Structure 1
Amino acid sequence: MYNKFQDILDGKKTGTPLVGTATTSATIDLMDVSGASRPEADRDPEKMAKLASSLHTDAKFELIRIPFDVTVIGEALGCQIDFGTKARTPSVITHPFEDNPEDVEIPGDLLERGRIPVVMEAISLLKKDPGLQVPLVAGIEGPADLASYLWGIRSFLKSTIKKPEIAKDIIEKCIDACIISANAYLRSSADAVVVADALSSPEMMGPDAFRQIVKPALIRFNKSIKGHSILHVCGETDSIIPDMLECGFSAISVEENVKDLKYVIDLAHRNNTAVIGNISTADTLYRKTPEDVRKEAFRCLDTNIDILAPGCGLAPETPLENLLAMVEARDEYVSNSEGTL
């Protein structure tokens, strides 16, 4: 599976798509079967590795991801974190630069702060596990999300309209932190890094602000890291898909909210970029039946998706049987396709 994953990110045709996730993935069912639960698994490298490995051993995913939230860099830069519960993910509760965004600086000891060392150790543990022969991606919050953690979401979004030069300055500092963290995770043997930037959604900051403020930073990110990269932006991203593809990522991850997945995939493939997605997490995987998952998976597979995956982060209460249904649907789809040749 390592070679297939690398081939997919290199833009090569590989036939059967992988099934896995590039977005956050800790569920209560997986915590129960693995014996590693949050919030401890967010701060303990052995428990983090144990819960992540359950994505493969119990959910049968062929691509797994850590960490299980997107606040790690924010914490390292001074944000206070509510670590939540088994059913509630960590969240940022303070914004250390809300009064003075111009003072944001990236410390020289960033990689020693907060949970960044935990994630690095968990990556190493997973890659050394002889029984876990699947690719691993390491997730980081994107520059817009990180800027909102440090400054406050309302202040940051307002600045993209009224003071774009200040917004761009803090984005450039945030992307420096993203680059440092991403390269550290790649050195720890992650097979790719995932930049998840919910605030870059056109439904949040708007396409023009993304193009002018965030896109240049993402381009610099890909020129500065030493390995494969994936970009996930939440929501209806149709209006910025061409811009996302111009940022230099090996793959993009999209939600079910995109209006025309086939168009997105065709455009991405012409750009030598893979597409990951996009089974609904809030609706199908969380609320519906394995048969509903199967039907939606078939629709994704009909569009020539490269990696069949949840469209966004999994709800903690997502049933394990619905994750297993994704793999079963891919296998059935491939079997049926071979039978028609």
Structure 2
Amino acid sequence: MYVQAEAMGAKVHYPYDQTAYLEAPAINDVSEIDTLEPADPYKDGNLPHHLEAMKIVAEEVGDEVTVTGPVTCPFTNASFLIGAENLVRLTLKDPEKVHKLCEISLETNLRYAKAIIDAGCTPSLTDAMSSNTVISPKQFKEFSFPYLKRLIDYIHSRGKSVTLHICGKTNKIWDLMAEAGADCISIDNDASLLEAKQKVGHRVRLMGNIKPSETMLQGTVSDVKKAVFECVRQAYDNPKGYIVASGCSLPTETPFRNIHAMMDAVREIGYLPAKIFLTT
């Protein structure tokens, strides 16, 4: 999630064989905003290495499956530039500075999304800080939505569909996520697939929401299979379709047997599961 902010000056720590984390934001004070510049995905930070990896995967399996490249959306990237607490504080004290941070983050997003598409892949959007666990729906509409829409409009202009993941509680902004143009909404395990189907299933494909830690990391193969069946039971008849997935990123220690169990359970259910769930 930090590669774009890192390319703009943030410091990221990379532990051996574990998830990277933000060590320090790019700036410490709003007075430094004018020192920030959009990243060049072909030169700055680790972005060129990620693009190289995407190209390799696209060349190997791109004719069989869609290969995606993650893009951290403007509001979340802005939080990595100045620090999450500072950004949330600025939404109340100095909203114009928040917009400035989002604008420069959007420019980096657009450049990176273009490079991802040019590499033969599809951008996949993640926006953790836009969660209603962090900001209100009103703040989402003001500080996140306009930039998400512009980013999604660009990706659509390149002929690609968009999956948007926002962590935590999102039920109060599902309509706005759809309005921003998302073709698929990835639902965190804090949210309800049934509720999402009822509220926006006629507008967007749904994706999710098996628990990453409780089930995928700590559960047994049987637990994973039961969770898959329950998610499919809730969302198989979503008007715009449904994709089985974890509710959020998997911990690095997740057993491969549980990942295989999730895939195997989907294969067991099959593409058209209606009869299974109407008769059980």
TM-score (norm 1): 0.73
1:214 CA displacement: 0.6
Name the structure 1 match of 2:136: 206
Aligned with residue 298 of structure 1, among 229, 233, 244: 229
- Say whether residues 1:122 and 2:53 are aligned partners: yes
- Say whether residues 1:180 and 2:116 are aligned partners: no
Q: Assess if the C-alpha contact under 8 Å between 2:210 and 2:216 holds in 1.
A: yes
User: Aligned partners of 1:297, 1:109: CA distance in 2, in Å?
Assistant: 40
Q: Assess if the C-alpha contact under 8 Å between 1:97 and 1:150 holds in 2.
A: yes
Aligned with residue 258 of structure 2, among 322, 328, 338: 322
Name the structure 2 match of 1:59: none
The 10-residue stretch of structure 1 (130-139 or 201-210) with the greater mean CA deviation from structure 2? 130-139
User: Aligned partners of 1:336, 1:312: CA distance in 2, in Å?
Assistant: 24
Name the structure 1 match of 2:161: 228
Deviations 1:184-217 (A, max 9, x none): 1011000x21111111110112221111111011
1:261 CA displacement: 1.1
Name the structure 2 match of 1:251: 184
User: Aligned partners of 1:292, 1:187: CA distance in 2, in Å?
Assistant: 40
Aligned with residue 249 of structure 2, among 303, 309, 313: 313
Deviations 1:287-327 (A, max 9, x none): 11111111111111111262111110001111111111112
Identity level (%): 27
1:332 CA displacement: 2.4
SS in 1 for 2:76: helix
Name the structure 1 match of 2:125: 195
Q: Assess if the C-alpha contact under 8 Å between 2:40 and 2:108 holds in 1.
A: no
Name the structure 1 match of 2:173: 240
Deviations 1:63-90 (A, max 9, x none): xxxxxxx11101111111101121x211
Name the structure 2 match of 1:281: 212
Name the structure 2 match of 1:102: 33
Q: Assess if the C-alpha contact under 8 Å between 1:104 and 1:170 holds in 2.
A: no
Q: 1:169 to 1:336 in 2, by over 3 A?
A: closer
SS in 2 for 1:236: coil
Q: How many residues align?
A: 268
Q: Assess if the C-alpha contact under 8 Å between 1:147 and 1:171 holds in 2.
A: yes
Deviations 1:207-229 (A, max 9, x none): 21111111011011112232222
Q: Assess if the C-alpha contact under 8 Å between 1:97 and 1:151 holds in 2.
A: yes
SS in 1 for 2:91: helix
Q: Assess if the C-alpha contact under 8 Å between 1:76 and 1:115 holds in 2.
A: yes
What is the RMSD of the two structures over their aligned residues, measured on CA atoms?
2.1
Deviations 1:319-340 (A, max 9, x none): 1111111122112223875577
Please give the residue correspondences for 1:114-153 in structure 2 after superposition, counting only pairs within 5 Å: 114-129=45-60, 133-153=64-84
Q: 1:219 to 1:131 in 2, by over 3 A?
A: closer
Q: Assess if the C-alpha contact under 8 Å between 1:101 and 1:170 holds in 2.
A: no
User: Aligned partners of 2:15, 2:72: CA distance in 1, in Å?
Assistant: 18
- Say whether residues 1:219 and 2:122 are aligned partners: no
Relative contact order (C-alpha < 8 Å, sep 6+): which is higher?
A: 1
1:107 CA displacement: 4.0
Q: Assess if the C-alpha contact under 8 Å between 2:41 and 2:48 holds in 1.
A: no
Name the structure 2 match of 1:262: 194
